[in-house]
Structure 1
C-alpha cells in the first residue's frame, strides 16, 4: 500500500488519460455533444444515438462505470471516492456511499445482486446492490487496483493492479485463491473468457496474455501491440479479443490462434475505453481526442462519431438499448440506441 493521494495523481496521469502532455491539446470547453454519421445506403441500428439525459456527478472525473446485467442500474466511481448508483428508468441517484478513495474499477456480478469495486489504495470490496452495504472489504494489492473481473458463474473474482499482479479470489468470502500472473509492468486491464476457463491480462508495456484458470499456465500471448493498453474485452462468443491502446488503435485477435485479425486506427489520441454490443456486431470506443465512435464490425466502418468532452468510460447494456458514458468533468450520459 502506498500514499493514496499520490496513487490518485499517478492514476490520472497515466492509467486513464495516458500521457499528460496529450490532454492539453484536447478541447474541453463545450458540454454540448454533436453527432456526425458516416454516409450509408441503408438504415443500420446504432447509426443514431439519442441522448436521453445527462446526470450531473460531482465535477470529478468518472474513472469507472458499469451497467447491471438486468439493465436497471448504472454504477459510477469517481476521482474523489464517490460511488453512485443510478436508476436508468427513474433517472436519479438511488445510492451514494462515500469511499474516500478513487474508485478505479467496478463490476456487477452476473445476477446483479452484488458488485465489486477496486480503488487507488489497493482495496477490493464486495457490495450488496440493493442496500449499498459492504459485504467484505480488504486491502488486496500494494498499489492501485486497475481492473476487476467476475467469472461467468459468479464464483471467482480476479483483480489486476499496478503492483504487476493478477490475483484470484473467492467472490463470496473474499478469500485468496492464488496469484495467476505476474507482469513485467503495471496491469491495466483483465477479462474472463465467456466460458470461464481462461483469463486475459494486459499491461502498460502493451503485453496481452491469456492464462489458464485451473493451473495458471500461460496459454498464449497476443502479439502485435507495443503500446500501453487501456482496455481488453472478449466478444460474447469468446472468439475475438479486442484491445484499446494509447496509440489510438483498436486491435482484434483470434482467441484460438492468438493471431491479429484486424486493426482499426480509430482515434487521433489514446483510446480510453471500448465496449462490444451484445451481439458483437458493434463496437463503441472513446478517446482523449474528445470523441465517441461507433463501429460496424461486419464491414469495419465507422457508423457514428459523437464529439464533446473527453470520455473516460463507456458501457453498453445487455438489452442493446442503452449506451452509458462517464467523462472527465463528472458527467454521466445515458444514450438510447436508435
Structure 2
C-alpha cells in the first residue's frame, strides 16, 4: 500500500496498515480506496494505481491527487461536470471525489487496453484507413465534450486507449503510466493482474472502442474564461499555439488531434515533424500514401492561426462525411419539470388541528402514528386513523424545531430553540434525558441504524451522541454557517449535511472525516434526503432542497448533477422519499406540497390547502402522506 502524502519520505506500507507507518497519514480514501503504486507525475497532480477494497473482482481503479492550486470551488464544479459527462461510453467512469487537507482526489475507472502509442510502436505506423477510423470515433466524442463546454486540453496517442485489446507479440507489457493501460508486471500479485480479471460492469460493449482518458487537464469553457489567460495544461508537443499561451479553445483539441494523427501516420514524434524556425509541419513526405482529402483536412486541423483552423469537430466531420451518432447519449445535468406528467390524484382525507405552527413531523414506522413539534413547545403523538392526539408533552416557552423517532420506535427525540436535545419515552410520556452541548438553536436530528443520534445546530456543528448515556462522542465541524439539515445513508456509513452557506457536505461516520463538499445552491440548504439506489435507478444519490427554490439530485460520491427541479415559488423547507413508490415530496413556504417521480424528476401533483408556509412533510405509507405548517394544521393526504 502506498501513502498519498507527497511529503512522506517512506510511502510504502504493508497492506494491513490503515495509517502510514512513517508519517501517520490515513491510507484509505473514504475508508475504501487505497493507492497500490505510483504511475506518474504531472505539473499539479500525481497518478496512482488504486484498489477498491469493497470489490472482490474488477477492483482496480485510478487515483489522481491534485494539489489545491485552482481553488476548491472551481475544482468541485469541474469535477461535478466530469461526473455528468462520464455517462458517455468513451469516457472513464468517475467513481468518487475526495477532499483532504490541501488536496483533492479523483477515483476513476481503470481502462484496460492498449494506447494508440503502444499500437504504433508495436504494430507500426497507421495507414489512411486507420486514421479515418480513429477520426470517426474521436471527432463525435470531441463534439460531445465541446457541446458541454469541456476542452480536454491533452489529446495525444497515450491518452487514447483501445478498450480490452491486450499488447501484441507475447512480450511482457509495461505499465503505460500516462494512459493507464494494462500491466502484467511481475511485482503485482496474481489476483491483481488484468489477465485474471474481467470487467463485467464496463459501459463499453465494443471491445475495440477508443476511450479518451486523463481528464486531469480538462477545463470548462465559459464566457468569463474566454476573456482571461490561464495556465498551460497538457503536453507541449501536442498543444496548439494559443494553448501554449494559456488561451485554450475548442479548436485547440482539434489541433492536438491533428498532431496525434500525423504522429501515428509517420511514427515520428511531433518535435521531429515541426519546423520551429518556419513554423511549419513537415509530415507528408514521411507518411505513407494519404489522399489529398485527408491530407488537406489534417493540414487545416494543424493550422497555426485559429482563423485558418476548423472551428468545430462537426466541421471536420462534414468534410470527411462522418455521421455523428451521439444522439443516443444522454444529455447530462439539468432536467426541469413544471407540469405533472402523468398527473396523480392526491386528496386531503383529514386535518389534525395542532393549535400553533407545526415545524416538524415524524411517523412511527409500522404504525399509523405521527409525532409533531411546534412553536408552542408541545410534542404531540397523533393517531392518524382516528384523527386525534394520544399524548401531549409540553415544554412551555420552548420552540420545537425538529423531531425524530429511534430505529426501534421506542424513543422520541426533539430539539429546539433551547439548544438541547430531549429524549422521551413516548409510551409513558416521560422525559428520559436531556443532551446539552450546542451553543445555538438545534435545527435537525437523526437516528443512525445503530441508534446513535446526530444533531445539527446553528452553531455550525454536528454532534454525535450516545443516547443511553448522554455522551457526545464526536463533533463534525466544517460548515461556515448554520447547519440546517442532516440525513444518514440507510446502507452506508455516510452522513450528509446542508448549511446556510449553500453547501452540502458528505462525511464518513466511521472515520469522522469530511469526504467532499458539493456546491451549486445559491442559498441555504434546508432539506436533505438519501434515497436508496433502487429508488432512483442511479448510483448512490443525494437530494438537497434549498431556499433558492430548487431541488437537486446529485451523485453522492462525485457530485454530478442528475436533475435540477424547479417549480416552487418560495423556499423549499422539507422533503421526504417513498422508495417503494419511487416518489418524492417537497414542502415550501409557498404553502404547497409537490409530488415528484423520484426516478425521472417528473412532477406528478401539487397539493394545496395549507394557508401558510409548509414546514415539514413525511410519507406514512406508499399511498399516504402528511404535511404540517405554520397554519397550525397537519394535513393527511392519500392518492386515489
Q: Which TM-score band applies after superposition, normalised by the shorter structure?
A: 0.7 to 0.9
8 Å contact 2:361–2:372 — kept in the other structure? yes
Q: List aligned pairs for 1:234-273, cutoff 5 A.
A: 234-237=530-533, 239-273=540-574
Q: Describe the SS at the equivalent of 1:112.
A: coil
- Residue in 2 aligned with 1:337? 639
- Residue in 2 aligned with 1:320? 622
Q: List aligned pairs for 1:52-71, cutoff 5 A.
A: 52-58=349-355, 60-71=356-367
8 Å contact 1:67–1:73 — kept in the other structure? yes
CA deviation digits over 1:64-115, x for unaligned, max 9?
Answer: 1111112321011111101111012222100011012111110001121111
How far is the alpha carbon of 1:180 from its aligned partner? 2.1
Separation in structure 1 between the aligned mates of residue 370 and residue 623 of structure 2, nearest angstrom:
13
How far is the alpha carbon of 1:321 from its aligned partner? 3.2
- Residue in 2 aligned with 1:311? 614
- Residue in 1 aligned with 2:440? 143
Separation in structure 2 between the aligned mates of residue 304 and residue 247 of structure 1, nearest angstrom:
21
Q: Which has the higher mean CA deviation after the structures are superposed, 76-85 or 270-279?
A: 270-279
- Deviating runs (4+, > 4 A) in structure 1? none
8 Å contact 1:152–1:196 — kept in the other structure? no
- Residue in 2 aligned with 1:199? 495
Listed as ranges, the gaps of 5+ residues in structure 2 are: 1-338, 534-538
Q: Describe the SS at the equivalent of 2:409.
A: coil
Structure holding more strand per residue: 1
TM-score (norm 1): 0.83
Sort the Cα spacing of 1:227 and 1:139 in 2 relative to 1 into closer, same or farther, 3 A. same
Structure holding more helix per residue: 2
Separation in structure 1 between the aligned mates of residue 614 and residue 462 of structure 2, nearest angstrom:
26
Match of 1:73 among 369, 372, 380: 369
CA deviation digits over 1:24-46, x for unaligned, max 9?
Answer: xxxxxxxxxxxxx8363xxx8xx
Sort the Cα spacing of 1:173 and 1:208 in 2 relative to 1 into closer, same or farther, 3 A. same
Structure with greater Cα Rg: 2
Q: What is the root-mean-square deviation in Å for CA atoms of aligned residues?
A: 1.8
Q: List aligned pairs for 1:28-177, cutoff 5 A.
A: 38=340, 40=342, 47-58=344-355, 60-100=356-396, 101-154=398-451, 156-177=452-473
8 Å contact 2:581–2:622 — kept in the other structure? no
Q: Which has the higher mean CA deviation after the structures are superposed, 168-177 or 101-110?
A: 168-177
CA deviation digits over 1:269-302, x for unaligned, max 9?
Answer: 1111111113362111111222111112333221
Separation in structure 2 between the aligned mates of residue 98 and residue 120 of structure 1, nearest angstrom:
14
8 Å contact 1:236–1:279 — kept in the other structure? no
8 Å contact 2:414–2:421 — kept in the other structure? yes
TM-score (norm 2): 0.45
8 Å contact 1:166–1:187 — kept in the other structure? yes
Separation in structure 2 between the aligned mates of residue 184 and residue 298 of structure 1, nearest angstrom:
32
- Residue in 1 aligned with 2:525? 229
Matched, 1:214 2:510: yes
CA deviation digits over 1:190-247, x for unaligned, max 9?
Answer: 1111125121111101111011112221111122223111111100338111011111
CA deviation digits over 1:288-335, x for unaligned, max 9?
Answer: 222111112333221111223221110112x31320111111101111
Listed as ranges, the gaps of 5+ residues in structure 1 are: 1-36
- Residue in 2 aligned with 1:4? none
8 Å contact 1:110–1:152 — kept in the other structure? yes
